[in-house]
């Protein structure tokens, strides 16, 4: 489909763009807004004084300068989150810390994401995917989110931490409540639910860690957890609180994002016969197809930074303390960087999208996500060549995360 930028919003609508008060049609197609904003006001000041950036080059320059652009969220989150468990989580996980703490925490994750470690996960990923497709074959139908795109990533991250997969529904609910606390508008209810979820998650992880300590060699899974526990025992690298919050973060970061990537691309391919036909003819395109899915309909749409000093972006002065919203969807549709950005093109070359961010915080799980995508798409589309949508698709109402809640389908 090439719907994305065919109908950009008017300049008046773009000038009033406010993340805290978005129009109803934004969720289905935010790109119409980014298109006009990028053209008339790429460093857009919103009523609360923060800036919304839609130009690729501006995003890259912010990502690449952590000395000027801080990821630490203590200042932003304090007013809405207070001293809640939700605040504790979001200000302790590595993604919202700056060097040198960030550097120390990031090193602890490295071993889990080497090419060798990812390659070792491949047989397990293949087996999981085959299992979901066997179940669909028996039934003749499946919900491509509930029974597929959600199942795989949550199972893989559970494996990494040695968490029983029987807990995956609780993990999903907790993750949604915790990540819901990052939406542009926070209600008392979202704060309460998010904090409750952090507490539940901590209890669950304390049990898991205790079990792991008592049974250090209790199986192949849980290697990441063992490495983190070792670092905690070492005393200097990781506190107990940091250990718990990195585990929560990993479980959250590793699944909803990947679920959305899988679902967004499946939806695109099932509604775009031309591109799906190309993939069929040439299965080797699956890797560039995944990259295009990540660019075209990015699972994470927003990242944030705060200016540590007075600075400037594309000729606009930004005072110290200002918050900026990096529109990943905006950057990934910038015509200065991508030819025909509104076209979904699985053969696109030189696709340097920003779906995984860039710079020191670039997604630690990017090759795992890519591997899951490659295996999932290869098997799904080749095993069920007649796969088609069979009922109303439901989009997730989130602004920061873009995806679907339901994609009902028949396999023939």
SS (H, E, C) 254-266: CCHHHHHHHHHHH
Chain position whose Cβ is nearest to ligand HEM: 365
Q: What is residue 374's DSSP assignment?
A: H
CA distances from 224 to 36, 123, 312, 375 (A): 44, 18, 40, 22
By CB under 6 A, name the one of 30, 180, 194, 254 that touches ligand HEM: 254
Task: Using the minimum distance from each CB to ligand HEM, give the nearer residue, 156 or 409.
Answer: 156
71 near ligand HEM, rule: CB under 6 A:
yes
Stretch that binds ligand HEM, among 114-122, 229-237, 331-339, 359-367 (CB under 6 A): 359-367
| Residues 6 or more apart in contact with residue 272 via CB below 8 angstroms | 1, 344
Give the separation between CA 164 and CA 212, rounded to whole angstroms: 12
CB of 157 to ligand HEM, least distance (A): 5
CA distances from 299 to 242, 258, 264, 284 (A): 26, 7, 8, 23
Site for ligand HEM in 257-286 (CB under 6 A): 257-258, 261
By CB under 6 A, name the one of 157, 209, 229, 387 that touches ligand HEM: 157
Stretch that binds ligand HEM, among 24-32, 127-135, 185-193, 249-257 (CB under 6 A): 249-257
59 near ligand HEM, rule: CB under 6 A:
no
303 near ligand HEM, rule: CB under 6 A:
yes
194 near ligand HEM, rule: CB under 6 A:
no
By CB under 6 A, name the one of 181, 331, 365, 403 that touches ligand HEM: 365
Closest CA to 412 of 386, 376, 375: 386
CB of 258 to ligand HEM, least distance (A): 4
53 near ligand HEM, rule: CB under 6 A:
no
By CB under 6 A, name the one of 39, 74, 104, 106 that touches ligand HEM: 106
By CB under 6 A, name the one of 333, 361, 398, 400 that touches ligand HEM: 361
289 near ligand HEM, rule: CB under 6 A:
no
109 near ligand HEM, rule: CB under 6 A:
yes
Please tell me the total number of residues recorded for the chain in this structure.
412
Query: What is the side-by-side strand order in the sheet with 69-70?
Result: 43-45, 51-53, 323-327, 302-307, 69-70
Stretch that binds ligand HEM, among 136-144, 296-304, 332-340, 398-406 (CB under 6 A): 296-304
118 near ligand HEM, rule: CB under 6 A:
no
Q: Rounded to the nearest 5 degrees, what angle is found at the Cα of 294, between the Cα atoms of 292 and 300?
A: 160
296 near ligand HEM, rule: CB under 6 A:
no
Say what the alpha-carbon torsion angle 329, 264, 393, 186 is, to the nearest 10 degrees.
-50
**Count of residues in contact with ligand HEM, rule CB under 6 A:** 24
Stretch that binds ligand HEM, among 42-50, 256-264, 335-343, 377-385 (CB under 6 A): 256-264
By CB under 6 A, name the one of 231, 346, 363, 409 that touches ligand HEM: 363
* Structural contact between residues 266 and 372, judged by C-beta atoms closer than 8 angstroms: no
CB of 22 to ligand HEM, least distance (A): 20
* H or E element in which residue 88 lies: helix 85-92
Closest CA to 54 of 32, 76, 72: 32
Cβ-based burial of 383 (10 A; exposed 0-12, middle 13-18, buried ≥19) = middle
Give the separation between CA 342 and CA 35, rounded to whole angstroms: 10
Which residues are near ligand HEM by CB under 6 A? Answer: 71, 94-95, 106, 109, 157, 250, 253-254, 257-258, 261, 299-300, 303, 355-357, 361, 363-365, 368-369
């Amino acid at each position: 489909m090439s719907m994305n930028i065919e109908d950009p919003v008017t300049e008046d609508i773009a000038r009033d763009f406010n993340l805290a008060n978005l129009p109803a049609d934004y969720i289905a197609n935010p790109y119409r807004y980014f298109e006009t904003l990028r053209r008339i006001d790429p460093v857009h000041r919103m009523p609360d004084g923060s800036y919304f950036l839609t130009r690729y080059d501006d995003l890259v320059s912010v990502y690449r300068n952590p000395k000027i652009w801080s990821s630490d969220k203590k200042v932003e989150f304090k007013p809405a989150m207070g001293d809640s468990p939700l605040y504790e989580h979001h200000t302790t996980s590595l993604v919202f810390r700056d060097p040198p703490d960030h550097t120390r925490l990031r090193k602890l994750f490295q071993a889990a994401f080497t090419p060798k470690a990812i390659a070792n996960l491949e047989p397990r990923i293949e087996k999981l995917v085959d299992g979901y497709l066997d179940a669909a074959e028996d039934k003749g139908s499946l919900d491509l989110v509930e029974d597929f795109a959600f199942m795989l990533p949550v199972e893989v991250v559970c494996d990494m931490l040695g968490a029983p997969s029987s807990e995956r529904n609780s993990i999903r609910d907790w993750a949604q409540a915790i990540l819901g606390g990052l939406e542009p508008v926070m209600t008392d209810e979202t704060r309460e639910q998010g904090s409750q979820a952090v507490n539940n998650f901590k209890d669950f992880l304390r049990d898991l860690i205790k079990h792991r300590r008592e049974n250090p060699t209790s199986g192949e899974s849980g290697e990441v957890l063992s490495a983190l526990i070792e670092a905690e025992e070492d005393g200097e690298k990781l506190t107990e609180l940091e250990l718990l919050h990195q585990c929560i973060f990993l479980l959250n970061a590793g699944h909803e994002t990947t679920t959305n990537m899988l679902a967004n691309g499946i939806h695109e391919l099932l509604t775009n016969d031309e591109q799906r036909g190309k993939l069929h003819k040439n299965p080797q395109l699956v890797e560039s197809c995944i990259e295009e899915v990540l660019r075209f309909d990015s699972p994470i749409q927003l990242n944030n930074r705060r200016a540590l000093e007075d600075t400037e972006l594309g000729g606009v002065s930004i005072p110290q303390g200002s918050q900026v919203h990096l529109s990943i969807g905006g950057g990934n549709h910038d015509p200065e960087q991508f030819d025909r950005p509104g076209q979904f093109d699985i053969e696109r070359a030189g696709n340097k999208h920003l779906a995984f961010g860039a710079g020191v915080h670039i997604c630690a799980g990017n090759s795992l996500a890519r591997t899951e995508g490659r295996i999932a798409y290869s098997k799904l589309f080749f095993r069920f060549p007649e796969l088609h949508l069979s009922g109303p698709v439901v989009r997730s109402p989130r602004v920061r995360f873009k995806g679907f809640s339901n994609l009902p389908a028949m396999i023939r």
